[in-house]
Amino acid sequence: MPRRDGGGGEARGPGLWFRVSAAWLVVLVLAAALADLLPLKDPAATFRGVSRDGPSAEHWFGADGIGHDVFSQTIHGARRSLAVATVATIAGLVVGGALGMVAGYYRRALDTAIVALLNVMLSIPGLVMALALVAFFAPPGTASPQRQTVWVAIALAILAVPAIARVARAQTMIWAEREFVLVSRTMGARDLRIMLREVLPNVLPAMVSFAFVGLAVLIVVEAALAFFGIGDVTGVSWGLMIHNGRAQLDEAPHTVLFPSLFMFLTVLALNVLGDRLRDKSDTRERGI
């Protein structure tokens, strides 16, 4: 029998958009991770006679102004864009989750201090703060590409912390008052054990669902930083491809179209997955 939700309607399973989004992300991640093993052209190689040529049987996405294969660069560029944003999201999930849970569990002065810190972080425009951090700690032209990439990831992680912390705090305040938590306190369990064993498993689904949406935002921010020439400009990423292709947009629009399209589809897929996971988290919170 199909399970019904609180309003009397039938509970829906994963829809078509969810499956398509999940499939897109799986294929993209596998292609990016195995790009060196796939029969792709060298993304750094220049091919004669195809400068700014459009899509063809030989070059599926065409070639850029100096003969690079756009398809190969798009696949290899996904590796850096996804890796940097994913690492930053995981770091933001750990740090922001810890701050939010501590604030929501202990409340009072500690909660006030943490909330004030989060509000200060949220008051600073994200892209401006990321530009300032990377430009100060890893100046373009002087810092090594590895150092620039590390500081881009750190800047993105800092951007992820306050939003994730607010979600963790709100969820912790709900679950910390449930009966099973009060029973654990009565039995003398330590606060750390209660937070890790009782509260965290219930808070984590909401944090993870929000992290998917946050990951989509960080992918766009990473591309924006690369577009402005911040970070490692020696490799391949979607932002760099868009930056390099803007000068030839009139004659070779495909050099910007395909990396932009891949980024758009990836961000859309992450939002669809995040919305679906949020719906499941809300249903679980209502006890259905």
Distance CA 172, CA 196 (A): 11
pTM: 0.84
C-alpha triplet 88, 90, 94: angle, nearest 5°: 115
The one-letter amino acid at 203: V
- pLDDT confidence of residue 126: 83
Q: What is the pLDDT of residue 284?
A: 58
Per-residue confidence (pLDDT) for residue 144, from 0 to 100? 79
In Å, the largest CA–CA distance within the chain is 77
Does the pLDDT of residue 5 top 50, yes or no? no
pLDDT (average), residues 182-203: 87
Mean pLDDT of all residues in the chain?
85
Range 34-50 average pLDDT = 82
Answer whether 252's CB lies under 8 Å from 64's CB: yes
Domains and CATH numbers, the chain: 66-285 (1.10.3720.10)
Place of tokens 């991640």: 29
Which percentage of the chain shows pLDDT scores above 90? 37
- CA–CA separation, 288 vs 141, rounded Å? 56
Per the CB < 8 A criterion, the answer to whether 53 and 85 are in contact is: no
pLDDT tens digits for 205-238? 899 989 999 999 999 998 888 888 777 777 788 9
pLDDT number for residue 29: 94
Please state, in angstroms and rounded to a whole number, the distance separating the CA atoms of residues 155 and 78: 19
Residue 288, pLDDT score:
44
Share of the chain above pLDDT 70, in %: 92
Q: Give the tens place of pLDDT for each residue, 88-112.
A: 999 999 999 999 999 999 988 999 9
* 160, pLDDT greater than 50: yes
Q: What tokens appear for 184 in the block?
A: 């654990």
